[in-house]
Amino acid sequence: MNSVSPMALIGVGTAGCAIAHGVCRAFGSSIRCLLADTDAATGDTGEPFVLLGGDRLSGRGAGGDIVAGRLAAEGSIKAIDEHVEGLRLAVIVTALGGGTGGGATLEAAKHLGDLGIPSIVFATTPFAFEGDNRQRNARGMMTMIEDAANATFFLPLDKLVGDTDNMADAMRRAIDVVAGGVTLFWRLVEKPGYIRLDTERLRHMLSVAGRGRFATVTTQGHNRAEAAVEKILKSDMLALSSGPVTATLCGVLAGDDLLLSEVGTIADGVRSAFGGLSFDLATVNDEATFSGRISVVTMLFEGGSRQDAEVRPGSVMSGRRPKKGALSVGPTGRGRFKNAEPTIWHDEDLDVPTFIRKGLSLDF
């Protein structure tokens, strides 16, 4: 792993590793990357790789079982420690609905938090045709991951590709779309700009980030700034709302031909459309990559449970988590209701379903 960058990309599960590998190909060898999966075959791409649950699963994968994925990660997650030494921020890419992506992503975010490393999670959620079980698995893990990570972006696959694509093209394009979006975000943080968004500035923003919405657009030609704003306003990904916008990050990536008026047009358009208590703007000037075109990264944060987070020395606000207990498959966190007074009886929170309190697994 590159020891220079304070930010690392971590792919979890087979699909998450494929997304991370796509980002590495697009960004170049300078990216700091780690792949983690229960399937040993995933480690053949050349990036640093950690096999999760080797003793338990023997590198054969979790078989779509979230409990198996969590148990595998719980028993081996410390293997990532040597790869994250000195890290200031982790970006996790994954896919929910299956075993490793759902189960191990939660454990990875929790472990990074314990190490004082804030995390951003980009997670795809299943196509509607994949069925109720995978949809239910994904929904069950979303709240738990939201409690463990500093910022979460859940990206429905149905919104990422068109329904006219064949299956092979749809799956490939979904991975490429997410990888492309994360690559633009990576350039926004790692490349120089007139208005910098470095890791430390991003860490500060993440202290109250919570669940968010994420989209990227690219335009070129005459009136490209106005065209970018129009595409942003029409984005299906930014229309996915689970709460009001509390903060907005707008990143503009362009070449040396970027005009001050274009930055103003984009910033004013995004700010007026989405509002929020705070608005942050960042720019990247990269002539070799963006000559003649503009790419805009929009991140809308909805705050949530991390607004009452506790601060640990030497780290950003890491948030309160439920006490570590028996493994469960449901949402053990209180999510957006964690500020409500719990119903406690004999040291048990009766607002948490019985099967979760007792550590029982259910057949989906």
Q: What CATH code is carried by the domain that includes residue 265?
A: 3.30.1330.20
Same domain as 175, residue 229 = no
Question: Cβ distance 47 to 39 under 8 Å?
Answer: no
Residue 24 belongs to what H/E stretch?
helix 13-27
Residue where a domain stops, chosen among 258, 277, 305: 305
Q: Cα 349 from chain centroid?
A: 29
With beta carbons less than 8 A apart as the criterion, state whether 92 and 167 touch: no
Residues in CB range of 316: below 8 A, 6 or more apart? 118, 150, 203, 204, 206, 207
Q: pLDDT in tens for each of the 364 residues of the chain? A: 444 689 999 999 999 999 999 999 998 778 999 999 999 999 998 899 999 999 889 999 999 899 999 999 999 999 999 999 999 999 999 999 988 998 999 999 999 999 999 999 999 999 888 888 889 989 999 999 999 999 999 999 999 887 766 777 888 889 999 999 999 999 999 998 999 999 999 998 887 788 999 999 999 999 999 999 999 999 999 998 878 899 999 999 999 999 999 999 999 999 999 987 789 999 999 999 999 999 999 999 998 644 444 433 334 444 434 434 444 344 444 454 455 555 555 555 565 555 454 545 444 3
Q: Are 176 and 198 in contact (CB under 8 A)?
A: no
CA–CA gap between residue 357 and residue 351 (Å, rounded): 10
The CATH number for 114's domain is 3.40.50.1440
CA angle 219, 161, 285 (to 5 degrees): 30
Q: How many domains does the chain have?
A: 2
Is 166 part of a structural domain of the chain?
yes
Residue in 108, 113, 91, 38 with CA at minimum distance from that of residue 68: 38
Residue 196 domain-assigned (yes or no): no
Last residue of a domain, one of 190, 222, 240: 190
Which residue range is the domain that position 137 belongs to?
A: 7-190
* Widest CA span in the chain: 68
β-strand partners of 112: none
Looking at the fold, whether 23 and 136 belong to one and the same domain comes out as yes
If asked whether residues 177 and 81 sit together in one domain, one would say yes
Residues 154 and 213 grouped into a single domain:
no
107 and 241 fall within a common domain: no
pTM: 0.83
